[in-house]
Amino acid sequence: MSVFSSQTPVGIEDVYSLAACTSGEVARAYDGLAAAMGADRAATGQVFRTLADWERSRMRSLSDRCGDARPKNGARTALSIIGAEERLELESSALTSPFRALCAAVSHCDRAFVAWAYVAAELEDAPARAAAEELALDALTRAGALRKERRLAWRAERAGMGERMAGGVAEKERLLRAEMRSLPARQALRPGAPVPGRLARYAEELADIYIDRVTKAENAADASRARRRAALSLQRLSALRRAAHEKTA
């Protein structure tokens, strides 16, 4: 499907206007994610705020380039970079970390690169096509810079993995079972609703631990056991994310 659906010739101002609208949409998505992190995930919230600030700065720069121009008749107001389902996953996950936030940001830049490459391919006006190609290259460059930050965040997160595992897998499984038993016999299921805090934390920590064990297994038997436990843990986590508990008085 064409980004600019009308037959009206598309100029360079239209490309920059579309880019400014897209950066504005992405900035608002990051603002929402930052607000959803709360005090318990303040470091991750700061990552999302920094990403939002960068997008707003970019939006202002692009708006200056396009002046008062708007995308032509029938054009989309913004490219789709961050989906609603992805936002919900990032918001509801108790273990959305700076590393995971930066993973998402790299993916968003990769999507932007593909989107602008597609836009460039369909434009006939040479200056407009050159502008779209420049935006695609900018997205690729931005992804490279974010990958460096992601590597630093990964090292910091791996260093903290030992602290999360210190309580022991058996103890975390016990705590998770205790939390599950504490739920009322009848629970209100609301697909897509946030998962209760402690349930989410225990389930996600166990999923991370089992996945980590798969990568560190020294033989096929250990790897097979770890994969089975990781699969069960991920199934459990998926079920928890599809339903939320509403406590009754």
- Segment 5-32, tens digit of pLDDT: 666 778 888 889 889 999 999 999 999 9
Q: Does 2 map to a domain?
A: no
Q: Does 53 map to a domain?
A: yes
Residues 78 and 126 in one domain: yes
Residues 102 and 223 in one domain: no
Q: Does 249 map to a domain?
A: no
The CATH number for 90's domain is 1.20.1260.10
User: DSSP states of the chain as a string?
Assistant: --SB-SSSPP-HHHHHHHHHHHHHHHHHHHHHHHHHHTGGGHHHHHHHHHHHHHHHHHHHHHHHHHTT--PPTTB-SS---S-HHHHHHHHH-TT--HHHHHHHHHHHHHHHHHHHHHHHHH--SHHHHHHHHHHHHHHHHHHHHHHHHHHHHHHHHHHHHHHHHTT-HHHHHHHHHHHHHTS-SS----TTPPPPHHHHHHHHHHHHHHHHHHHH-SSHHHHHHHHHHHHHHHHHHHHHHH-------
Q: Does 206 map to a domain?
A: yes
Mean pLDDT is highest, among 64-68, 106-110, 227-231, for 106-110
Q: Is the pLDDT of residue 234 over 50?
A: yes
Residues 132 and 98 in one domain: yes
pTM over 0.85: no
Residues 88 and 57 in one domain: yes
Residues 175 and 152 in one domain: no
The dihedral of CA 165, 169, 172, 176: what is its sign? positive
Domain of 154 in residue numbering reads as 12-158
> What are the pLDDT digits (tens) for 128-186?
999 999 999 999 999 999 999 988 888 787 766 555 554 567 777 777 777 666 655 44
Residues 39 and 113 in one domain: yes
Number of domains in the chain: 2
Q: Does 5 map to a domain?
A: no
Q: Considering 138, 158, 178, which residue would you say is the last residue of a domain?
A: 158
Residues 72 and 150 in one domain: yes
The letter for the amino acid at 230 is: A
Q: Does 179 map to a domain?
A: yes
Q: Which residue's structure tokens are 């209100």?
A: 188
Q: Considering 158, 188, 212, which residue would you say is the last residue of a domain?
A: 158
Q: Does 1 map to a domain?
A: no
Q: Considering 158, 179, 196, which residue would you say is the last residue of a domain?
A: 158
Residues 122 and 179 in one domain: no
> What are the pLDDT digits (tens) for 208-217?
777 777 777 7
